[in-house]
Structure 1
Amino acid sequence: MARKIRKYSKGASKDVERAMKKRKAGTLKSGGSGRKVKSRKQAIAIGLSEARREGKKVPPKKSAKSSAKKSAKKASKKSTKKTTKKTTKKKSKKKS
């Protein structure tokens, strides 16, 4: 029988488990704003990102690839597209 290849290492799952316990206790905080994390999905994401930072076996973010492609497309469109605005001068009426 062939063994299944693990996508996530045991250490990575421990990090996620630790993040989930912190969320339950109410001590898990998000990195950017420092607010308490209430969402289960956000707690899992924090655990996985910590595991990635430590170099444990975790697949790369899928959203990061697609968003990078989208931002690259937008940047190339902006650089090729040149917009010129015509400015019109308003004539001021003189009172005499």
Structure 2
Amino acid sequence: MDAQDSAYRREREKAKKLKKTQWWQNLLARGECHFCGKIFDRTELTMDHLVPVSRGGSSSKGNVVPCCKPCNNEKKYLTPAEMILKNQLGKDVSF
């Protein structure tokens, strides 16, 4: 296991712990997807990293948001800015 794998696992473990906090439960209770703004049942929302873990993002309150599964699938490994550009330009724009 290399250092990158270790960091990735560590961030995923932090995300699991963060999901159990009252802060995260309150966000889920609102039911709003951060990206599309639609309201969903809490079971239909996922934790999305604004800066993906695969690109050095952390599992912290400042980097995770509730996201519906369709938006999460569309965003993949992109940042929100890259996702907006992709939607406007119609092509992959990751840096």
Superposition TM-score, scaled by structure 2 size: 0.31
Higher strand share: 2
Superposition TM-score, scaled by structure 1 size: 0.31
More contact order relative to length (CA 8 Å, sep ≥ 6): 1
